[in-house]
Amino acid sequence: MSNWTTANMPDQKGKVIIVTGANSGVGLQATIALCKKNATVTMAVRDLTKGSKALAEVVGAVPGANVSLAVLDLADLDSVKAFAEQFVKNNTRLDVLMNNAGVMYPAKREVTKQGFELQIGTNHLGHFALTAQLMPLIKRTPHARIVSQASLAHMTGDIRLNDINWQRGYNRIQAYAQSKLANLLFIYELDRRLKARNIDAKAIAAHPGVSRTNLMRTSGFMIELFTPLMAQSAEMGALPILRAATDESLKGGEYIGPTGLMGMRGYPEIVKSNKKSYDVQLAKELWVLSEKMTGVRFEF
């Protein structure tokens, strides 16, 4: 079987796509690839200054790209709500919601505007609330997809249902692992719920392996030291989430990632996440907790 690349992506003309965290790294490269395939892309970014530079880079790479910029701070549920309301108001469809943005390893424990630990609040709860509030468009769009960026870090993750915000014994590495396990539990549970209600949409997870992106700046000396030896380019790191978003053979509920060097690099294939990520009861409990924390419910 040949390696999957952007050459395998079908034409995306007429498709409306949101990419969160589109201002750099994997999100930026995914945006460029989607624009080259004629998609209409909204780059959802927290920082408009950085976003504007990224938008210029996209237009430079793809003259005539159908791309726009919008403010979305996933660490602020008010910003999430405002973005979703504006997008639903201005669009009649949403073919792909690419939940790509993320934060990793803050130097100390930080919290979101609503007081959630920064990594679970941004990586999981922000995207959970965003997806819920975009469901009216997703349900209206034939063959829609929700794709979320997980990480190899989920392998050591655990969901602290009684202390999800790490108010006791904070460990930034384990807090990140928890948020990435939460991404997987959410996507698998979302796909089960979509299928149970016969909604014509799929939820699929991906991970970029170890890629040279801005996230690596906060990952610690040893990881930064060895990243050039292990890591692949952001362009390669974008392939799994692009495959999750566009491969028409996928059924929903898959996990796409590199298969080389223990999953750290290589071309994207269907891979397996850890046993805990497939725990249906844990996924349900996390779902209920997430709705309670965000105050947002999914209206299927």
- Give the active site residues: 176
Yes or no: say if 81 and 133 are a contact pair by the CB < 8 Å rule: yes
| Torsions phi, psi for 23 (to 5 deg) | -85, -10
The helix-helix angle for 127-140 and 172-196 (nearest 10°) equals 20
Amino acid at the residue 25: G
Q: What is the 3-state secondary structure (H, E, C) of 166-196?
A: CCCCCCHHHHHHHHHHHHHHHHHHHHHHHHH
Yes or no: say if 66 and 38 are a contact pair by the CB < 8 Å rule: yes
Amino acid at the residue 31: T
Task: Centre a 10 Å sphere on the Cβ of residue 241 and count the other Cβ atoms it contains.
Answer: 31
Distance CA 265, CA 77 (A): 34
Amino acid at the residue 48: L
